Every structure is written in structure tokens, then in C-alpha cells.
Amino acid sequence: MLRNEIKRAVFSKMFLFALALMSVFAVLSSIYYIEIGSDYNPGYVERGDNIGDVSGDVYSPDFPTHSLYSAWLGGDVQTLAYTAFFFLFPIGTALPFSWSFYIEQKSGYIKNVLTRTSKNKYYLAKTSAVFISGALVALVPYIINLLMVSSFIPYYYTWAGYIFYNRIYFGAIWSDIFYSNPALHMFLFVLLNTLYGGLYSLISYAISFYSKNILVILITPFIGTLAIGYFEELYYSAHSDIIARYEFDPTRFLHSRSIHFNQNPWVISAITLIIVCFVIGTVWFKGKKYEIY
Amino acid sequence: MKYIKLLRFDLSEGLLKKYKTYIIFAVLIIITFFDCRVRCVIDNVRYSYGEYLMYIFGGSRRYEIELSSPFNLPYLWLLIHILILYFTLNYSPSDLSGHGQQTIYRTGSRLAWWLSKCSWQIITVAAYYAVSWIVLLLLSLIDNADITTTVTHQVFIRIPPGATRIMPETADLSIQLMFMPFLFTASMGLLQLTLCLIVKPIFAYIISALVCISSSYAQSPLLFGNYAMAIRNDNVISDGMNTTVGIISMLTLSVLCITAGALRFRRYDILSKEE
């Protein structure tokens, strides 16, 4: 059952389209950074004036701002490609398979399945397949981007002195890891994005228990995220005395840099928990009550 | 006559019966009014009707690529346009996969059906804008704000660093603040409507969303969303977008969409239409 569902989720036109859409943005972002990286000659900088002495080596603090850790998709804060990637993240990850439960109800396919297997097995397989399809749509563009960028742009250790260029401030999630082990920091953010790819897909899947309109199923998480982004700005403008400001909009805290506000681990955990509770609650309670006839 | 009857039906089904979406939109406008009101208290300035319009429909300042300044999404501007495009996305495709087939068969005119849908699209978008204008006007009156479309403070705080502000203090921006955003959403709605005849509605919507976000990112005459941002208008900043060019461009896009859609719909297989 699970293998069948995953096969249906991954070997489909919608999955390929979503993957291609998100990968295009990842590739465009990498091309931009490879292009500007070609104008930047570390050897020249090494001989230049802007040299600081870090750990005893001749080292320019400019290096980290032009290294792989800044040029990958999660470090990109400048291009339209990265903006579109995170902006369309909720739709892109929902496209592959989150609509399948709705379509199966509509076509009557679900009747054939649920008369042959238990509800629990069906929902478990469906939920897993939806999660995996969304997670892959988030993960694969990152792999493509990292492969491309790392082929052209060198690694350089990050330097905490350039905090405003790195845009990873103290108190942000995994900020200490960024300055001690940037590769691990990158890996953790790719993992977080993969998790949220699956979660966004599951939100759309959960909405299909409430709505009988495929556009509502696919677009609601996208509009909802946009609304959260606006309400976050509204909240902080109304509470201008708040100094510690954190991101509530998932498409902004998924970015490894602080685009606007800091990413707080507790806020991220709370939002993740709310999403997981919503999805499990919906599938558990609505699914239990669901009658195929 | 067929066209009039079809349009009357569309307005009844796609506009009057969708009143809940207008309520949602009105609530959003009310929230943004109070958001703006809070900001005006913080900034210690008195806002006019035009300032509120500027806050909601004015758009974002031009983005200059810089390592230390990331691009921030203009959430409110995007939300307004994307919400209207979402509310108007589903009506025509669902009509065509439902009783629209019967309507076309009985009226015998595909052109009348298509023109009716295009007119419905424009009128519906106009209705959303009318709701926002009226709600803002009422709230401004209650708040004792000046009922003028002159804008000073919102321009002052949004103008990009290095750009030359050319707008005189008393300039009337009613066309840039009221007509241009409407024209942009209407033309994008028509583009979306036409694309729905070629691809699935969700893909048409993704294209519309991409146009909106590209417009907010880059200032280019080809990205029509720029014409809908008063803060990027050449009446406000020196190297801004020209209103006349914007009107001509968006009207041309609309006419092209209507014509292309009519041509496509002549041979469109309505029987195999599915969701």
C-alpha cells in the first residue's frame, strides 16, 4: 500500500512539474552567484588592503561573504530566484500529491481501496506519500543548487565580525553552529526545509478533508502564509516597543538568513507543533468519521 | 441580447452570490486601515484618505541589490492583488465544467459566453476595488481624516534612498492610487482567465503570482505590476513609471487576452473539460 502510494506520488506529471518549477529558481539563483563569483578574485583580495588576521593566516574578512555558505540558495538574500522559491514554496510543495485524497473521493477510487484494506493503513500510506512528495520537491532543488554552486564557488570559514553581511544574528536558530561549523548549519537548514516541504504538502492534504475545491486545497496554505507575513509586520508595527522580534512566517524562517527578523527556535518549534497537531488531528478525527458511501 | 442575458447570469452567480469573499476583503481593508492608523500615531502625523490609499495600494520602493540589504516582500500589496486573483480564479473554469456547457449549447454562441466571462472578470475586480474605496472612505470620515487624494508622508517614508522626489506637495494621485491598481488586477485577471483555456487554473494562478512578485522585485516596463505602484510612478520619483504608458500597456494586454481567448475558445473542447 505504502509503496504503491509513493510510486503514484513520485512518478506523476504534477510531481515533475513542481520539481521543475522549484528547481528552475534554485538553478537561476546558483547561476547568479556563479556569475558574480567569476568577477571576484580571492587572490586579488588576498593582496589587497582589506586584510585582517584571523587564526594566524593571511585572511580577508570579505572571503566568507563570497563563499559557498553565502552563495547557496539558503544564503541568497538578493535574487528574484530565491524570492520566488520561498514565495511559491507552499504551492510548489502542495502540487505533487496533496490533492490525491480529494480526487480519489471524487472519482470513487477510494471505495475500491477501502473495501480491500483498513482505513488506518490507507491514511498512513496516503499521509506518508504526501509528506514524501512535498519533502522531495523541497530537497531536490537544494541538492541541485548546492552541486552547482559548490562546483564554482569555494568554501571559506565564516567570520562573526561580518554579522551584517552574513545576516545571522546572535540568538537566531543555530547561529552558533554557523560560526563554528557552517556546513552543519547548511545541512540543518536543508533538513528544516525538507521537513517543511512535507508539512506544507500535508496542510493542503488536511484541507482536502474540509474543502471540495481543488484550488482551495492547493492555494489556501499559500494565501495563509502571505497573510501571516502581513500580520507579523502589523503586529510588530503596533508593538514598536518589542525589541526581540521573531519570524512567524514559515517561508521566512526557512531561509537560513534573517531576512527581516530573527528565527527563534521556540517559535519555529511551536509553529511546527501547531501544523503537526492540525494535520494529525484532521486525518485522525475526520478520517475516522469518513464514510465511503 | 444573448451576451446581456449571460452577463446578468454571471453577475448574479459570480458576483452577488460570492458576497462572502467581499466581506473577507472588506475585513482585510478594515484591518489595514487600523494598521495604518497605528503607524500614523507612531509617526505623529495626520493622514488623509490619499495616505491610506497609498499605504494599501502604493506598493514598495524600488529594490537596489546590495549584499547587506535583502529583498523584503511587500506583503500587503501582494496580498491585495493575489487575493482578488484567487477569488476570481475558479468561477469560469467551474462554470465551464458544470452548467456552462448547457448554456453554450442552448445559446449557441461561444463568443457571447466568452465576452460575458471577460466582462464579469472586469466588473468583479472593479467591485472589490469599490468595496475597498468605500470602506476606506467611510473609515476616513469617521476618523475625521481629510478626504483628499494628495499624499505627502507616505511618499516621504517610502521613497528609495538616492531617488529624486519630484511630486509637489499638493499633487493629486487619484489615477495612480485608484485606477492603476484596478487596471493591473483586471488585466492580470483577464490574463489568468485566458490562460485557464490553455493550462489548468492552478498554473494560470502561479503565472499571475510570479508576475506580481517579479513586479515588486524589479522596476521594468514589462512587469506591469510596477504601473500599479504609485510610489514608483514618474509623478512621484524622477525615474519612475509613466502612467500613460502603463494604461496603454495594460489595455493592450487586456485586448490581446480577450482576442486570444475568443480565438482559442472557438475550437475549445468543452466536453472533455474536467477539474
Identify which of A106, A215, A227 has the shortest CB distance to residue B201: A215
Give CB contacts under 8 A, 24+ apart, made by B213-221. Answer: B213/A80, B213/A83, B213/A84, B213/A87, B213/B73, B213/B78, B214/A80, B214/A84, B216/B59, B216/B60, B216/B63, B216/B73, B216/B74, B216/B77, B216/B78, B217/A80, B217/A83, B217/B63, B217/B71, B218/A80, B218/B63, B219/B62, B221/B245, B221/B249
Query: Residue A175 above 80 pLDDT?
Result: yes
Residues within 8 A of A (CB atoms), B 51-110 only: 65-68, 70-73, 75-76, 78-79, 82-83, 86, 89-90
Say whether B83 and A87 touch across the interface (CB within 8 A): no
Residues within 8 A of B (CB atoms), A 46-85 only: 65, 77-78, 80, 83-84
Q: Is the Cβ–Cβ distance between B3 and B115 less than 8 Å?
A: yes
pLDDT, one tens digit per residue, over A200-249 is 999 999 999 999 899 999 999 999 999 999 999 889 888 878 888 899 99
Residue whose entry in the numeric block shows the C-alpha cell 487619484: B174
Query: Residue A73 above 80 pLDDT?
Result: yes
Say whether A167 and B78 touch across the interface (CB within 8 A): no
Say whether B210 and A84 touch across the interface (CB within 8 A): yes
Q: Which of A215, A231, A262 to mutate to test the interface with B (most CBs of B within 10 A)?
A: A215
Q: Give the number of other CB atoms < 10 A from CB of residue B8.
A: 11
pLDDT at B243: 94
Instruction: Give the Cα separation of B152 and B135 in Å (integer).
Output: 22
Say whether B82 and A230 touch across the interface (CB within 8 A): no
Whether A183 and chain B come into contact, CB under 8 Å, resolves to: no
Q: Is the Cβ–Cβ distance between A81 and A29 less than 8 Å?
A: yes
What cell was used for B254? 487586456
Measure in Å the smallest separation between the Cα of B39 and chain A Cα atoms: 7
Identify which of A17, A83, A234 has the shortest CB distance to residue B217: A83
pLDDT at B151: 77
pLDDT at A39: 65
Query: Residue A281 above 80 pLDDT?
Result: yes
Measure in Å the smallest separation between the Cα of B1 and chain A Cα atoms: 33
Measure in Å the smallest separation between the Cα of B24 and chain A Cα atoms: 12
Q: Which of B36, B196, B206, B207 to mutate to test the interface with A (most CBs of A within 10 A)?
A: B206
Whether A257 and chain B come into contact, CB under 8 Å, resolves to: yes
With cut-offs at 50, 70 and 90, classify the pLDDT of residue A35. Answer: confident
Identify which of A219, A226, A230 has the shortest CB distance to residue B205: A219
Partners of residue A95 in chain B, C-beta under 8 Å? 202
pLDDT at A47: 46
What is the ipTM for the molecules in this complex? 0.90
Closest chain A residue by Cα to residue B38: A238
Query: Residue A48 above 50 pLDDT?
Result: no
Residues within 8 A of A (CB atoms), B 12-31 only: 31
| Arithmetic mean of pLDDT, A147-153 | 91
Q: Which of A25, A66, A85, A219 to mutate to test the interface with B (most CBs of B within 10 A)?
A: A219
Q: Is the Cβ–Cβ distance between B125 and B88 less than 8 Å?
A: yes
Measure in Å the smallest separation between the Cα of A86 and chain B Cα atoms: 11
Average pLDDT, chain A: 87
What cell was used for B121? 472578470
Say whether B42 and A226 touch across the interface (CB within 8 A): no
Say whether B67 and A78 touch across the interface (CB within 8 A): yes
pLDDT at A56: 47
Partners of residue A259 in chain B, C-beta under 8 Å? 70, 72
pLDDT at A49: 47
- H or E segment to which residue A58 belongs: strand A57-59
Measure in Å the smallest separation between the Cα of A233 and chain B Cα atoms: 9
Q: What is the 3-state secondary structure (H, E, C) of A113-142?
A: HHCCCCHHHHHHHHHHHHHHHHHHHHHHHH
Whether A164 and chain B come into contact, CB under 8 Å, resolves to: yes
Closest chain B residue by Cα to residue A14: B203
pLDDT at B222: 93
| Residue percentage of chain A with pLDDT more than 90 | 54
Partners of residue B31 in chain A, C-beta under 8 Å? 234
Identify the residue with better confidence: A25 or A54.
A25
| Arithmetic mean of pLDDT, A45-69 | 59
- H or E segment to which residue B55 belongs: helix B49-57
| Arithmetic mean of pLDDT, A119-145 | 94
Residues within 8 A of A (CB atoms), B 150-209 only: 201-203, 205-206, 209
Say whether A77 and B70 touch across the interface (CB within 8 A): yes
What cell was used for A48? 589587497
Identify which of B70, B79, B209 has the shortest CB distance to residue A227: B79
pLDDT at B154: 67
Averages of pLDDT over each 10 residues, chain B, 275 residues: 88 90 96 88 82 89 79 92 96 86 84 94 97 95 86 68 63 86 97 95 96 94 94 86 95 97 88 62
Whether A228 and chain B come into contact, CB under 8 Å, resolves to: no
